[in-house]
Amino acid sequence: MPANHDHHKVVIVGAGAAGIATAASLIARDPSLDIALIDPADVHYYQPGWTMVGAGVFQAPSTARPMQSVIPRGVRWIQAHVQGFDPSGQTVLLAGGRAISYEQLVVCPGLKLDWQAIDGLAQTLGRNGVTSNYRYDLAPYTWQLVRSLKQGRALFTQPPMPIKCAGAPQKALYLACDYWRQNGRLGQVKASFCTAGNVLFGVS
Ligand SMILES: Cc1cc2nc3c(=O)[nH]c(=O)nc-3n(C[C@H](O)[C@H](O)[C@H](O)COP(=O)(O)OP(=O)(O)OC[C@H]3O[C@@H](n4cnc5c(N)ncnc54)[C@H](O)[C@@H]3O)c2cc1C
């Protein structure tokens, strides 16, 4: 095997919720299993917590942990960006040219948020009263807007699938309205929910 080539029985690409949960479950069943988790990120985020950050229930830093601290004991973390796959050679290719071969591969690099799909959105996010709970740095701004709005129109939107957590846009609406209700503002604040879907919930 060449010097820049490594082998693991199980290789997992992405150490988000899916990658960490899969590794933890496998190693719990067989502690001798040779598992490598590949992820370039220094920080692991608990994304569902961002809904609570946007509602003032959590502080943003409580949703972030050093990546090393969430890697299950006995699992090897390779801090690198996967750049390509070679299925016939049972190998993943890392940025920088290193190759890692496997017996079993789990691929879970998450969803890439496509802010550019809406004209002008990227330029106005985080100011002008435009926010999103789908970003760690913006969820606190959601809470700032909720607290400061005394009257006027509050627009909540949900794009078409696929999105992660179909409930998150609705939860932002309910939590914000609850705050305005408790503070006697609901009515002066008029909230609308605009969804690209035909129905509110996927399951009737
Ligand atoms: C605001 C919000 C609220 C939510 N609420 C809920 C909820 O209430 N309940 C619920 O079940 N779910 C909820 N979710 C959804 C849930 O958080 C996601 O479904 C989950 O985090 C997805 O996990 P994942 O591992 O697939 O992706 P992620 O957690 O996004 O992790 C992907 C990982 O892959 C890594 N990666 C990316 N590209 C590469 C590459 N090329 N090479 C190596 N690594 C790579 C990234 O660095 C990252 O660490 C919510 C999400 C959001 C944003």
Say which residue the tokens 């992820």 belong to: 39
Q: Where are the domains of the chain?
A: 5-107, 115-195
Residues 109-157 have pLDDT tens digits of 999 999 999 999 999 999 999 999 999 999 999 999 999 999 999 999 9
User: Closest residue (by CA) to atom 7 of ligand 1?
Assistant: 48
pLDDT confidence tier of residue 5, bands split at 50, 70 and 90: low
Are the C-beta atoms of residues 65 and 43 closer than 8 Å to each other? yes
**pLDDT the model gives residue 35:** 98
User: Closest residue (by CA) to atom 49 of ligand 1?
Assistant: 16
Span from the CA of 66 to the centroid of ligand 1 (angstroms):
15
Atom nearest to 111 CA in ligand 1: 30
**pLDDT the model gives residue 113:** 93
Between CA 69 and CA 16 the distance in angstroms is 13
| CATH number attached to the domain at 5-107 | 3.50.50.60
Are the C-beta atoms of residues 80 and 109 closer than 8 Å to each other? no
| Rounded mean pLDDT, 77-89 | 98
Atom nearest to 50 CA in ligand 1: 1
Ligand 1 touching residue 70 (CB < 6 A): no
Longest Cα–Cα distance of the chain, Å, equals 69
Ligand 1 touching residue 168 (CB < 6 A): yes
| Rounded mean pLDDT, 8-33 | 98
Atom nearest to 139 CA in ligand 1: 1
Between CA 105 and CA 173 the distance in angstroms is 39
pLDDT confidence tier of residue 200, bands split at 50, 70 and 90: confident
CA atoms within 13 A on the CB side of 85: 13
pLDDT confidence tier of residue 4, bands split at 50, 70 and 90: low
| Rounded mean pLDDT, 50-74 | 98
Helices (H), 38-138: 49-54, 67-70, 121-124
**pLDDT the model gives residue 42:** 98
Residue 1 CB coordination number (10 Å): 8
Ligand 1 touching residue 51 (CB < 6 A): yes
Span from the CA of 169 to the centroid of ligand 1 (angstroms):
16
Ligand 1 touching residue 138 (CB < 6 A): no
Between CA 113 and CA 164 the distance in angstroms is 10
Span from the CA of 136 to the centroid of ligand 1 (angstroms):
12
